[in-house]
Chain A
Amino acid sequence: MEKWVYAFRFVGIGWYIALCIGGSILGGLWLDSHFGTSIIFTLAGVVLGLVVAALGTYRMIEPLIREQNDRTPGGKH
């Protein structure tokens, strides 16, 4: 049943990435229109969204990577 747990844990990753990137881009667009700047905040939003999405995704799959490393011939399994 471990498989179920892993499968379900990764069901939400796509949403997480989409919401991180989309949300921060929308936030950047809003800030740009609010302060009258042209694209600075939007670009910052893109970068921030990508970074947050990547870091978060890495954190979510980290346990799986660690376990895979344990199972390699050098590991205990």
Chain B
Amino acid sequence: MSRRGCALIGLVVLVLFIVGLAGGAIGQGMGITLLPQILKVPTLEIESFFRGEPVFLKDGPFPITNTLIASWITVVVATLFAFAATRKMKIIPGRLQGLVEMAMETLINFVESVAGHKNGRRFLPLVATIFIFVMFNAYLALLPIYGPGIHVTLKDKIATKEAGTVVELMVHPTVEEADEVIAVIETADGARQEVKARVKGEFEYQLSVKDPVAEGQPVAIMMGTTENGTAVTAPVAGTIVELTLHRRIDQSEEPIAKIDTGESESVIVNSPKDKLGELEYDVAVGQTVSADDEIAVLTSAPPLIRSASTDLNMTLAMALIAVLFIEIMGLTGRGFKHYISEYVNVGELFRGIKLFFKGKIVDGLMASVTGVINVIIGGLEFISHMTRMVSFAFRLFGNMTAGEILVLSATFLIPWIMAVPFYGLEILIGFIQALIFGGLTLVFATMAVGHGSEEH
């Protein structure tokens, strides 16, 4: 590239860096308001750290989480990739076929060099699958269509521009079934009582969370049906601690509240542009608000796709498969007797006891002590095999989640520029984690199979 080109790119990067530094979280912390509202850092709240969030069939017995969708995508993409590479096989491979052949050869060589030819061929399918699955998961998760690897809810605060009295809250929660819980009240002595709706339909809350409530005071009022105006009253006096029905914003710029400013026409407050999610009001009908008061918080919906490795369920499932595979290989490779004697090694103890009863007290005692030590060693072996499962699951989960948090933090600290080097790091980490997961399965399986034959 010419020197002018280099200088131009350098200049662009520098300008982006300065604007990002001033406009991102660092700049905002120092009180610089350079960027328009839309580029500002929203309030982040981390929810659902260890698992994905249900996005489909939320109430069913098998909710579809966003991480599950991501792992399906990985399976489909890996399959399509393999299909595309092997569709027209040639003796002299093309670029794609060549790449896949090279990758497979490297994998086969790696596996065979650790486990030997015979065992290597037995272990290859699972080890290669784990490697490819973990790596595809990690790399696909770097695509922009994937949401952050932790469920960060962006909480947008909606404020009113004018002072006045709230006369109407327009987004209504709907009660689908009679007797549905609509609020929870905490009484003075700390007990919690649920407030139930008696009829179905749209409600409007008359109170917000943390409001004190007297016995018999209306908590919500039925809207726009034959039961119009029926109030759901509080069964006890106390404080509202939870409003269980959430109001959803399904459209951009939906009107959410009407405020009477004292002039002829009321002011209508809209939800932000292009933001959907769950709305929670901070005001109640009849409340007086001043200009720039916060009237509601809009919590963004979870992303549709989220990196599969950031779900502990997925990594634990893979760890289970790997550990089961290792144990089964150990069982079939060494025979039941050898396999079980590794954990429950009581032969020496029984021999000692037998000797003891035969009258050889010193020999029996010695053998019994060795026997007890053998039993303890068997226990240790069992513990060390079981910790593998935990370490498999948490290592992958931790590394992937940490990477996602790193990229996310960098994106907000200094927008545009800072995330790029961390993306590079994530590419490296994706490969390393795939190698470690697959490699550990391979090495443990080799140890499980080969241990006995090496020593005896």
Q: Interface residues, chain A, CB within 8 Å of chain B?
A: 1, 4-5, 8-9, 11-12, 15-16, 19-20, 52, 55-56, 59-60
**Stretch of B18-26, B34-42, B166-174, B440-448 with 4 or more beta carbons under 8 angstroms from chain A:** B440-448
| A12 adjacent to B377 (CB under 8 Å) | no
| B443 adjacent to A8 (CB under 8 Å) | yes
| B114 adjacent to A5 (CB under 8 Å) | yes
Q: Known: A52-B383, A56-B384. Contact between A16 and B443, CB under 8 A?
A: no
Q: When the two chains form the complex, which single residue of A4, A5, A16 contacts B387, counting CB atoms closer than 8 Å?
A: A16
| B98-111 interface code vs A (CB 8 A; 1 in, 0 out) | 00000000000010
Q: When the two chains form the complex, which single residue of B380, B394, B440 contacts A8, counting CB atoms closer than 8 Å?
A: B440
Chain B residue with Cβ nearest A12 = B391
Say yes or no: is B330 at the interface (Cβ < 8 Å to chain A).
no
Q: When the two chains form the complex, which single residue of B377, B439, B447 contacts A4, counting CB atoms closer than 8 Å?
A: B439
Among residues 157 to 215 in chain B, which have CB atoms less than 8 Å away from a CB atom of chain A?
none
State the 6 A-B residue pairs at the shortest beta-carbon distance, nearest first.
A15-B391, A1-B113, A8-B443, A56-B380, A19-B387, A16-B387
Q: A4-B439, A15-B390 given. 7 additional CB < 8 A pairs?
A: A8-B436, A11-B440, A15-B394, A55-B376, A55-B377, A56-B383, A59-B384
A67 CB, min distance to chain B CBs, angstroms: 12
Query: A55 CA to B388 CA in the complex, in Å?
Result: 17
A65 CB, min distance to chain B CBs, angstroms: 15
Residues of A within 8 A of B439 (CB): 4, 8
Q: Known: A1-B114, A4-B439, A5-B114. Contact between A12 and B387, CB under 8 A?
A: yes
Query: A11 CA to B383 CA in the complex, in Å?
Result: 16
Residues of B within 8 A of A1 (CB): 110, 113-114
Among residues 360 to 392 in chain B, which have CB atoms less than 8 Å away from a CB atom of chain A?
376-377, 380-381, 383-384, 387-388, 390-391
Q: Interface residues, chain B, CB within 8 Å of chain A?
A: 110, 113-114, 376-377, 380-381, 383-384, 387-388, 390-391, 394-395, 436, 439-440, 442-443, 446-447
A32 CB, min distance to chain B CBs, angstroms: 22
Can you offer 8 A-B residue contacts whose CB atoms are under 8 A? Answer: A1-B110, A4-B439, A5-B114, A12-B391, A15-B388, A16-B387, A55-B376, A59-B384
| A15 adjacent to B377 (CB under 8 Å) | no
Chain A residue with Cβ nearest B447 = A9
Chain A residue with Cβ nearest B395 = A15
| B440 adjacent to A59 (CB under 8 Å) | no
| B380 adjacent to A59 (CB under 8 Å) | yes
Residues of A within 8 A of B380 (CB): 52, 55-56, 59
| B443 adjacent to A5 (CB under 8 Å) | yes
Chain A residue with Cβ nearest B436 = A11
Residues of A within 8 A of B395 (CB): 15
Query: A47 CA to B225 CA in the complex, in Å?
Result: 68
A4 CB, min distance to chain B CBs, angstroms: 6
Residues of B within 8 A of A8 (CB): 436, 439-440, 442-443
Query: A70 CA to B446 CA in the complex, in Å?
Result: 23
Query: A11 CA to B381 CA in the complex, in Å?
Result: 16
Residues of A within 8 A of B381 (CB): 59
| B384 adjacent to A16 (CB under 8 Å) | yes
Query: A20 CA to B113 CA in the complex, in Å?
Result: 33
Residues of B within 8 A of A12 (CB): 384, 387-388, 391, 440
| B383 adjacent to A4 (CB under 8 Å) | no
| A15 adjacent to B387 (CB under 8 Å) | yes
Residues of A within 8 A of B376 (CB): 55
Query: A15 CA to B377 CA in the complex, in Å?
Result: 18
| A5 adjacent to B388 (CB under 8 Å) | no
Query: A8 CA to B388 CA in the complex, in Å?
Result: 12
Residues of A within 8 A of B114 (CB): 1, 4-5
A54 CB, min distance to chain B CBs, angstroms: 10
Q: When the two chains form the complex, which single residue of B110, B377, B387 contacts A59, counting CB atoms closer than 8 Å?
A: B377
Query: A16 CA to B386 CA in the complex, in Å?
Result: 9
Residues of A within 8 A of B383 (CB): 16, 20, 52, 56
Chain B residue with Cβ nearest A56 = B380
Residues of A within 8 A of B390 (CB): 15, 19
A15 CB, min distance to chain B CBs, angstroms: 3
Query: A66 CA to B109 CA in the complex, in Å?
Result: 28
Residues of A within 8 A of B436 (CB): 8, 11
A62 CB, min distance to chain B CBs, angstroms: 11
| B384 adjacent to A4 (CB under 8 Å) | no
Query: A10 CA to B193 CA in the complex, in Å?
Result: 54
